[in-house]
Amino acid sequence: METPRTTPSTSLALCYTSPRRTCPYRRTPRQRRLAGPKLSTSPVSSGRLRRSPVTQNVEKPGALPGLTNKTWQVLYLSPLYKFSTQPQALKQYGRSLATFLVQEADKEIAVDNGCTKQCVFSVYEGLRVNAADPEAIQILVTTKATNGNKKTNGGQVLLTAVLCGIDLESNPCTGLKKHFTYYPILLVKSRVTLSALLKSWLQRHFDCRISPLMPTSMDLAWMVAMWSGTLAERKNKPVELLYSVPEECEGLSRITYTINAEDCKTLWDSIRSKGSDDFTGEEVGAFVKSLEEHFYECFKVKLWKMELRRVGTPLAYIGDGKVKIFSPENAWQVLRLLSELALEQFQLLATT
Amino acid sequence: MDSSVEKSVIRSVLSKSLSRDIETLVRKWGCFSESDIQKLNFRATKSAIASQIFELCKELGLKQEIGDLDLLCTQLHSSSKKWTVLKLKGGQLKTDLDPQDLRDRLVAVLETDCLGDVHLNVKSYGGAIWIRVYVQGAAPFKTTDVVYVLSYPHTPILIACRMKVKMQEIVYSALVEVFESEEVTELQLTGHHLPSLADLALQQTSQGPFWKYRNIEEAVNPLIRSKVSTKSVTSEDKERETDERLMDENREEKQSRQERLDSTFGTHAQPTLEKLEYKLDLRFRGTTFAPGMKGQPDLFHCRVKFEGPSVLEGTKNLGRTGFASLPLPRHLAKVHSLAKNHFTVAEMDSARKRPSSQSK
C-alpha cells in the first residue's frame, strides 16, 4: 500500500504547501491517478473474483441512470457490520427502514400528509470498475398511496441514495473478520430531515459512523487541477474557483473566479507532463499557483491567503459537502477520487 | 380596473410587509379616515386583513389609490428589488417636471403605445420621483409585471427595477419621449441599495481629493468648524493606547496602508453594492509558475465576481488587512468614479490604444 505522505522534492511543491496556504493541513499523496483504472496491476488475485471487471459498462454513456446532473450530498462511512447484498437481505433492509421511518414519523407532531413510505434497496449496476469494488447499492424511498389518492402522491420519490466505492487501492477491512463491508461514500439526495433519519438507521443497523465529507482547500485544488484538462465534447462548463474571504475583511464574503474551459485546457496542457497516467503534487501546485498569480496580476488580490471552498470543472462541481456530476462517462473518475478522499479521511480517524 | 387585480395588489403588498408594520403602512397611505382604520382588525391573518381592506376600498370607491399603496410598500422595501441605473442622453432634457406633469405626459404616451389598460402612479419621495407602471392585459396580475422607475429631478439619472424585455422597450421609449431625450442608455450599475446607487451615479467625482470637499459641503452647517472625527476607533486601538506595554510592530506599515486607502476611498462609509463583476480578456500573466505559457498570443478569458454585503467596503478592507497589495488596480479602486459594477477589462492592443487594464 502506498503511504500517503508528502515529501516535496522541488521548491515549487514546497511553495504550494507552504504555511501561507489556508489550514487545515493534511498529508497529501505525492500523486494521484488521472487515467483509467489499473486493471493489469490490480492487487486482487483472480481466485477471489466472482465476476469479470465491468469496465466496458462504465464507458457506455447513460449507463448511470439518475446519477448525473443532480446535486448530491456526500457522506463517508466506517465499515458496515454484517451487510449483505443478497436479494433477500436487501428486501429485509427495505422493510426495516420503512418501519423505522414510520416509527419516527409517529414521534413527531403530524407534519406528514399521511402517506406511508416504501423503501427499496437494490444493486446499482454500472459503478463497478474494479473486481474488488463492493457492489453499489441504491436506496430509494418513495411514497405509497394509501387511501385512494393513488394518482396524486403515489410513487413520488422522497429520497435517493447510492452507497458506493470505486477502485480503492486498499480496503481497511482486509485484516478484520469477514463480517465487515466497506463502502467509502454515500451519496444522498433528499430533504434534510429524511436524510438524517436514513443516516441514523444505517448507523444503528450496521453499527457504523457516517459524517459529511468535506474536501479541504487542498483536495479541491487537486480536483480542479486534475480535471480541468478533461473536456467534454459539446458545451463545456467553465472552470470555476470559489474562494471565501476571511471574516476580518468585512463587507466581502466570496470571490468567484470563472475561467473559460478551452483557455484553461491550454494552461493545463502546458503544465502537464505528457505520457503519464499519474498527476503529481508539483503539477497541482503549478496549476493553481499560476491561476492565482494571474488573478494577482489583474487585481492585486492574494487568493492564496483565502480558503478555496468550491470548485467547478467540466466534469463536476464539488464543494461544501456536495457534488454534482455532469457527464456519465467520467462519473467514475469523480467518484473514485471521492472514495479515495473518504478512505484517507477514515484512516486518519482510525489512526488517531 | 378589474376588481381581481385590486385584490391581488393588496394581497401582494401585505405579503411583502411584516404583520406588525401593516397598520403603520395603512396610516401612511392616508386614504382611510381614522374611523375606518379603527374598524380594521390588524390582529387577523394577512389574507383576512387583505379582504377587509379590499372591502373598505370598494365602499370608498378607491381604485387608483391602491397603486399608491403598492408604490409606498416598494419605497419602504426597495432593497428587495434589483435596480439598474439608466442615463438619459440628449442636449435639452426636460427633467424639471413635477409629479403631476410627469404623470399626465406618461399617460398620454403609454396609452398610445400599449395594448391594454395603463395603471400609473407617480409620487415624490426621498428626493426622487417614483413612477409605478402596470399595463393590464389579458394575463392575470403578477407582481413581476409591475414596473417601477425613479427619476431624479434636474439630473439625467433614472433608476429602474428589473422588467420583462417587452415591457422594457415600451417603458424606455416612453421615457425618451417624456423627458425629450435622444436615447436611454444603461450604465452598467446594478444593485439592491437605492441610496448607494443614486450616490454612485450622481456623485462620480466624489473620489480622491473631492471627498474632503464633499464632506464639508454636506455637513449640516458648513460655516461651523467642528472637529471632524471620521476615523472609527476600535476597542483594540483603545486598549493599545491605554496600555503602554503593548506595542504594535507593524504600526507604521498599517498606518501608511490606511492613509493610502483613505486617499483613494475616503474615510466616509462606502456606498453599498452587493456585487462587482469583471470580464477579463487579457493575456495570461501567471507565467512564473507556468513558464510554458510565456509568449502565448491567445487571450485567457475569465470572469471574476466579488460578492458580499458591501463590496466597496470589502475591497477597502482587502487592502487594509493585507489580502491585497497596494495600490489597487484602477478598475478595483475607482468604482466610484466609473459609476458601474460590470466591467470589461481588455488588453491594450485588442482594445485599440486603450491603456491596459482600462475598463471599457
pLDDT tens column, A317-340: 898 889 998 877 778 888 888 888
Report the alpha-carbon distance of residue A242 to residue B69 in Å, rounded.
Answer: 42
Interface contact flag, A270 B309, Cβ < 8 Å? no
Which is more confident, B244 or A226?
Answer: A226
pLDDT at A242 over 90: yes
Q: Is A59 on the interface with B (CB under 8 A)?
A: no
Tell me what pLDDT residue A1 has: 37
Report the alpha-carbon distance of residue A82 to residue A179 in Å, rounded.
Answer: 5
CA neighbor of B132 nearest in space, from B153, B146, B116, B113: B146
pLDDT tens column, A284-316: 888 888 899 999 988 889 888 888 999 988 888
Interface contact flag, B325 A299, Cβ < 8 Å? no
* Residue B307, φ and ψ in degrees, nearest 5: -130, 150
Q: Write out chain B residues lying below 8 Å of A259, CB-based.
A: 300-302
Best of A244, A300, A307 to disrupt the B interface by mutation (most B CBs within 10 Å)?
Answer: A300
Residue in chain A closest to B288 (alpha carbons) equals: A290
Name the A residues in 226-285 with CB < 8 Å from any B CB: 238, 245-246, 248-260, 263, 266-267, 270-271, 285
Report the alpha-carbon distance of residue A33 to residue A337 in Å, rounded.
Answer: 9
Tell me what pLDDT residue A2 has: 38
Best of B284, B313, B331 to disrupt the A interface by mutation (most A CBs within 10 Å)?
Answer: B284
- The architecture of the domain spanning B80-192 is 4-Layer Sandwich (3.60)
> How far is the alpha carbon of A125 from chain B, nearest alpha carbon, in Å?
39
What residue has cell string 402596470?
Answer: B134
Q: Are A15 and A333 in contact (CB under 8 A)?
A: no
Q: Write out chain B residues lying below 8 Å of A291, CB-based.
A: 286
Q: What is the pTM of this model?
A: 0.77
DSSP characters over A289-328 = HHHHHHHHHHH-B-GGGSEEEEEE-SSEEEETTEEEE--G
Q: What is the mean pLDDT of residues B175-186?
A: 86
Interface contact flag, A253 B323, Cβ < 8 Å? no
With bands split at pLDDT 50, 70 and 90, how would you rate the model's confidence at A74? Answer: very high
Residue type, B165: V
Between chain A and chain B, the number of residue pairs with CB atoms below 8 A apart is 146
Interface contact flag, B324 A300, Cβ < 8 Å? yes
Tell me what pLDDT residue A243 has: 92
* Domain boundary assignment for chain B: 3-76, 80-192, 193-221+251-360
Instruction: Give me chain A's average pLDDT, please.
Output: 75
Interface contact flag, A256 B307, Cβ < 8 Å? yes
Residue type, A275: G
Tell me what pLDDT residue B358 has: 43
Tell me what pLDDT residue B13 has: 87
Q: State the helix-helix crossing angle for A281-299 and A217-227, rounded to 10 degrees.
A: 100
pLDDT tens column, B94-122: 777 788 888 888 888 888 777 678 888 88
Q: Is B185 on the interface with A (CB under 8 A)?
A: no
Name the B residues in 34-63 with CB < 8 Å from any A CB: none
Q: What is the mean pLDDT of residues A278-285?
A: 80
Q: Is B236 on the interface with A (CB under 8 A)?
A: no
Query: Which range scores top for mean pLDDT: A48-52, A257-261, A326-330, B87-91?
Result: A257-261
B266 Rama sector, left if φ>0, alpha if ψ -120 to 50, beta otherwise: left
